[in-house]
A = this chain, B = another copy of it.
Amino acid sequence: MHADRLFPADPGTRAIARRLYNSIRALPIISPHGHTDPRWFADDAPFADPVSLLLTPDHYITRMLYSQGLSLEELGVVPLAGAPAAAFDTRAAWRRFAAHYHLFRGTPTRLWLDWVLGAVFESDIPLAPANADRTYERIAERLARPDFRPRALFERFGIEVLATTESPLDALTSHAAIRASGWKGRIISAYRPDPVIDPDTPGFAANLARLAELTGEDTGSWDGYLAAHRKRRAFFAQMGATSTDHGHPSARTADLSERDAQALFERIVRAARSGAAGGADADAFRAQMLTEMARMSLDDGLVMQIHPGSWRNYNRSLFQRFGPNIGADIPMASDYVGALRPLLERFGNERALTLIVFTLDESAYSRELAPLAGHYPALKLGPAWWFHDSPEGLMRFREQTTESAGFYNTVGFNDDTRAFFSIPARHDAARRIDCAFLARLVAEHRLPEDEAAQVAHELAYTLPKRAYKL
């Protein structure tokens, strides 16, 4: 990995970018939103093998290989109805991966994996058929070492705080175990209530019942349901959580009267219990609940995140065979200006609320999101997300949001990943791109270098800590 990677080619601008980056490269990593497994840090057991660590669970990788004709089974993904693939040949799967590594040219996966293989495992890069076996063995050998266990890596990676994401139905036992262990690594949860908010979730009625058990509230009544949320939010907060997260199909919000909200909830519960789909009511309920969550955030201080616009499990037959998170979630065009208005009308002027909005629809950056974030005290822009947390995507985010929202209505970087080993590479890429953008502003005499250095520091460290109350 070249020391100047991701910096602009122009020598003058590159020198500025390098100076800016060197002033922030060693800052601790703030990871306020992601999907790592807290059990890793609770158990601190060694990771199993290169394939189950790096290949099979990474839907950026499996989607690309699938698009080019490989089957998910060949990559170690186990069908829901299938027998566990006891005899799955991980080494053959790794060779298959190596044979197709050229598919990732020009993608962020290539950057992240080169870093994981090169910097973490000190192996050959790029992965290729000629080094596949050697690389496999190197990784396997390292994974057996104590300094490659989760906690050791957490420390080596320089992570100051790492948020995972859990359902209100999760007992947070791993988080409790981490705390009880005396280990000082800061792993916190985030409250992601989609399973008890989205009536289209499979098992929604059962989820409500389970929520009732956990809280002692009557989740069949509107008041009880809201009270149950409040209790679980309080529990999450007590376990370190500082935020909630909402992965709705759209950013639609609503602000119904108390009476209408109650009636809507009762229809939702009746439909759920009868096994009927929610239909239009489901969408309205998700919309109303975003506003309810904002109301609760004003009470308990949890920062609220909305991640809208992903058509989850778009490929139905693949979903039926393999379940979710196999690389078949597809972005949709998303409206924000109309969708968020009911919530913003109600709470947008509240300085005590922090609402962080993300998008998969880059056309909304300059048109809707930056203008909204540049006006509302409650609203902040989440960083480039998912398909866009890549060099080009991160750069477009800055180019298209900064002029209307400034830097200070953004909140630094999220890695948003389940790929623990790639976290430093992702934050490093974001820092480099931010420095590349700032270096251009400096080179074009739009910002003095000392101010750019201050901004670089804030984007990497101060803003995420402040925005997420960490």
**Which of A10, A315, A404, A445 neighbours the largest number of chain B CB atoms within 10 Å of its CB?**
A404
| A331 and B327 contacting across the interface, CB-CB below 8 Å | no
A362 → chain B closest CB, angstroms: 6
**With the chains together, A373 CA to B331 CA distance in Å?**
12
Binds B, one of A78-86, A262-270, A340-348: A340-348
Which residues between 351 and 384 of chain A lie within 8 Å of chain B, taking CB atoms?
351, 360-363, 366-368, 370-377, 379
Contact surface of A with B, Cβ cutoff 8 Å: 1-2, 4-13, 63-64, 66-69, 102-108, 110-111, 126, 311, 314-318, 327-328, 330-333, 335, 337-338, 341, 344-345, 348-349, 351, 360-363, 366-368, 370-377, 379, 387-388, 390-393, 399-400, 402-409, 440-441, 443-448, 451, 454-455
| B314 and A9 contacting across the interface, CB-CB below 8 Å | no
| B402 and A445 contacting across the interface, CB-CB below 8 Å | no
**With the chains together, A338 CA to B309 CA distance in Å?**
13
**With the chains together, A391 CA to B9 CA distance in Å?**
20
Given contacts A327-B375, A409-B68, contact A349 B318 (CB under 8 A): yes
Number of copies: 3
Residue from B106, B337, B409, B446 in contact with A331 in the complex, judged by beta carbons closer than 8 Å? B337
Given contacts A317-B345, A445-B5, contact A406 B105 (CB under 8 A): yes
A454 → chain B closest CB, angstroms: 8
Closest to A442 in B: B9
| A403 and B392 contacting across the interface, CB-CB below 8 Å | yes
**Chain B positions within 8 Å of A376 at CB level:** 67, 315
| B7 and A374 contacting across the interface, CB-CB below 8 Å | no
